Amino acid sequence: MLSVKIDETNGIAILEPNGALSENDFKSAAKIIDPLIEKNKRLNGLIIHVEHFPGWDSFSALSSHFKFVKEHHKKIPRIAFSTDSAIGGLAETIGKHFVQAEIKVFSFNELELAREWITDNV
């Protein structure tokens, strides 16, 4: 399951995975995030807040994740990973080659620092 919280004041979406991610998780996230992007023409940032990355429940979930990134990365200037998982550092390194967004990694307990980093860009 993927919980999506919207901080409308700061234009931030906070994604919190709980268990293996499914194809439907990304479709549901888009249904929540897209109206905010349409209203404001972009999000100021997105935070992935998860202590340890749970992975995907299927190849179609992984494909759906890539589709979500492809459709949103030009409308979100900053992406923060608030995680203790090694996947955060990997995403920061590899993501620079595939997305326009600036990516930064914070520890799981540094959610507020991640939020501040995104709002510093506004």
Quote the CA–CA distance of 7 and 75 in Å, as a whole number: 16
pLDDT, one tens digit per residue, over 1-39 is 899 999 988 999 999 999 999 999 999 999 999 998 888
pTM, two decimal places: 0.85
What 3 state SS string does 63-103 have?
HHHHHHHHHHHHHCCEEEEECCCCHHHHHHHHHCCCCCCEE
Q: What ranges do the domains of the chain cover?
A: 2-119
5: Cα separation from own chain's centroid:
11
Q: Tell me what pLDDT residue 12 has.
A: 94
pLDDT, one tens digit per residue, over 54-104 is 878 888 888 887 788 777 767 888 989 999 876 655 555 555 545 667 889
Q: Tell me what pLDDT residue 53 has.
A: 85
2-119: CATH topology is Transcription Regulator spoIIAA (3.30.750)
